[in-house]
């Protein structure tokens, strides 16, 4: 959602001069050395204020995407790599050109917040939640800070502006590379020499024309750690992602049953996946976030699968209030939990899966069938099938029972 900040009225009286910010940003005077100096001062003032307000990385880019970024997006969509994320294709034109999204845009201020945390092993019998989702929903925190900075800018210089987090049709990572914050690695995510793989991004589009920062270059070299670490082989080539095989996509964006071929590869990941991010050598420069909102909740570092499988909708909402996990809903989340239970190899979790056979959600019931087949003894499983399949009315659940014959 874009937010337009109302500019302060330029001061009255006198002709334009270098001390007048309206003069500094008026296209009629561009090229004037005094104007460039004032515009540079404005840029550095914004940078300093952003850092003072808790942003960890700040860069400036022209409101224009390089041709290769647009070409990459077109190829990604043409190959169907976006899967069910129809919103990517629906606003592809705006996504590929900042000025199509907002024609007054001249400069993009790209801002990053570090969410780095220790990547540790998850306990046996527990689910693995992606690091970014263990704290408060970053959309809320980043957007609040962006709006505060936008108001500060609007009070000081003329022009309009818009604020975006990643829910808008903005190609954040290419813009971040153009702004010098990092580069898109072979896993297609942003890599920073200062923060590794752990940056949340947000943008402020300005109608002010400010000098851009130097773009960051690619520092991946011959490394392919991220490509080799992917459990589902979601990278058909370096710098190319097939989201349909990505565990983050499958556990968050995908709404239905997950392909049986991919389920065993998901392991205990119940929301997102950090594998390709965590193995990046540039993480040796990363540091733990200082932002309290991004620190992990105690219950999300190693949540017990048996307890998660018992969540009804009200309990799910209480547990994940203020968390990014909440947005996928209880049924999709329990699908993920039951896949993790099936992958656990722990027969002690068979009862948790069996109880989910009575769930009101067909998605949960179907996932429970798959998990139970892996954990229960053959006699117990066939008894459940004989009892439940004749009265099952949902086709997806029936297919799971029949596939498990």
Selected residue with higher pLDDT from 323 and 121: 323
Per-residue pLDDT tens for 333-363? 999 999 999 999 999 999 999 999 999 999 9
Query: 12 lies in a domain?
Result: no
Same domain for 245 and 323, yes or no, is no
Mean predicted confidence (pLDDT) in 58-64:
97
Residues labelled catalytic? 166
pLDDT band for position 158 (50/70/90)?
A: confident
Query: 73 lies in a domain?
Result: yes
Nearest alpha-carbon partner for 145 in 43, 294, 40 = 294
pLDDT band for position 123 (50/70/90)?
A: confident
Query: 5 lies in a domain?
Result: no
Q: Give the global pTM.
A: 0.90
Q: Whole domain around residue 398: which residue ranges?
A: 304-405
Same domain for 198 and 338, yes or no, is no
Residue 9 has pLDDT above 70, yes or no: no
Per-residue pLDDT at 6: 40
Query: 249 lies in a domain?
Result: yes
Same domain for 45 and 108, yes or no, is yes
Same domain for 288 and 308, yes or no, is no
Last residue of a domain, one of 272, 297, 322: 297
Nearest alpha-carbon partner for 288 in 57, 117, 131, 136 = 117
Per-residue pLDDT tens for 224-246? 999 999 999 999 999 999 999 99
Mean predicted confidence (pLDDT) in 365-376:
98
Residue 12 has pLDDT above 70, yes or no: no
CA distance 139 to 172: 14
Query: What is the enclosing helix (H) or strand (E) of 108?
Result: strand 107-114
Same domain for 314 and 252, yes or no, is no
Same domain for 337 and 286, yes or no, is no
Last residue of a domain, one of 297, 320, 353: 297
Same domain for 368 and 289, yes or no, is no
pLDDT band for position 31 (50/70/90)?
A: low
Burial classification of residue 47, based on how many CB atoms lie within 10 Å of its CB (0-12 exposed, 13-18 middle, 19 or more buried): middle
pLDDT band for position 259 (50/70/90)?
A: very high
pLDDT band for position 16 (50/70/90)?
A: very low
Rounded to a whole number of angstroms, the CA Rg of the chain reads: 24
Query: 345 lies in a domain?
Result: yes
Per-residue pLDDT at 11: 34
Tokens of 17: 């001069």
> Residue 124 contacts by C-beta under 8 Å, 6 or more apart in sequence?
344, 346
Q: Residue 20, SS3?
A: coil
> Residue 400 contacts by C-beta under 8 Å, 6 or more apart in sequence?
257, 366, 367, 369, 370
Same domain for 280 and 352, yes or no, is no
Same domain for 79 and 103, yes or no, is yes
Residue 179 has pLDDT above 80, yes or no: yes
CA distance 211 to 214: 10
Same domain for 250 and 393, yes or no, is no
Per-residue pLDDT at 4: 41
Query: 105 lies in a domain?
Result: yes
Asked if residue 122 lies in contact with residue 108, where contact means CB atoms within 8 angstroms, the answer is no
Instruction: Specify the range with the lowest mean pLDDT, choosing from 39-43, 87-91, 183-187, 267-271.
Output: 87-91
Query: What's the domain count of the chain?
Result: 2
Same domain for 239 and 293, yes or no, is yes
Query: 14 lies in a domain?
Result: no
Tokens of 228: 């080799």
Residue 5 has pLDDT above 50, yes or no: no
Last residue of a domain, one of 236, 270, 297: 297
Same domain for 310 and 275, yes or no, is no
Query: 10 lies in a domain?
Result: no
Distances (CA, A) of 121 to 27, 137, 247, 275, 294: 55, 23, 18, 12, 19
């Amino acid at each position: 959602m874009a937010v337009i900040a109302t500019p302060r009225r330029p001061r009255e009286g006198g002709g334009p001069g270098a001390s007048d910010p309206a003069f500094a940003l008026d296209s009629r005077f561009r090229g004037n050395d005094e104007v460039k100096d004032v515009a540079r001062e404005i840029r550095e003032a914004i940078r300093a204020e952003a850092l003072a307000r808790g942003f960890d990385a700040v860069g400036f880019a022209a409101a224009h995407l390089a041709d290769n970024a647009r070409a990459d997006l077109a190829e990604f969509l043409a190959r169907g790599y976006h899967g069910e994320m129809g919103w990517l294709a629906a606003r592809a034109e705006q996504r590929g050109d900042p000025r199509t999204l907002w024609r007054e845009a001249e400069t993009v201020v790209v801002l990053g917040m570090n969410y780095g945390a220790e990547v540790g092993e998850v306990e046996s019998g527990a689910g693995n939640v992606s690091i970014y989702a263990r704290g408060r929903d970053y959309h809320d925190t980043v957007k609040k800070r962006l709006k505060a900075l936008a108001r500060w800018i609007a009070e000081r210089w003329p022009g309009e502006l818009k604020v975006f987090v990643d829910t808008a049709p903005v190609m954040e990572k290419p813009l971040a590379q153009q702004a010098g914050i990092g580069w898109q690695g072979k896993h297609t995510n942003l890599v920073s020499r200062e923060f590794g793989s752990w940056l949340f991004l947000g943008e402020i589009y300005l109608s002010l024309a400010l000098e851009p920062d130097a773009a960051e270059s690619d520092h991946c070299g011959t490394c392919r750690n991220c490509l080799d670490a992917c459990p589902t082989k979601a990278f058909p080539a370096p710098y190319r992602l097939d989201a349909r095989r990505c565990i983050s996509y499958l556990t968050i964006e995908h709404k239905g049953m997950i392909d049986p071929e991919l389920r065993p590869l998901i392991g205990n990941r119940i929301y997102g996946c950090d594998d390709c991010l965590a193995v990046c050598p540039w993480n040796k420069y990363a540091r733990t976030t200082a932002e309290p909102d991004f620190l992990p909740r105690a219950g999300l570092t190693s949540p017990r699968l048996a307890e998660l499988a018992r969540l009804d909708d009200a309990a799910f909402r209480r547990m994940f209030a203020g968390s990014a996990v909440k947005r996928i809903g209880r049924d999709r989340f329990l699908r993920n939990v039951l896949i993790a239970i099936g992958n656990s190899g722990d027969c002690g979790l068979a009862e948790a899966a069996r109880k989910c056979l009575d769930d009101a959600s067909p998605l949960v019931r179907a996932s429970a069938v798959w998990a139970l087949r892996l954990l229960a003894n053959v006699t117990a499983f066939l008894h459940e099938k004989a009892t439940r399949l004749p009265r099952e009315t949902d086709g997806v659940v029936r297919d799971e029972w029949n596939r498990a014959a």
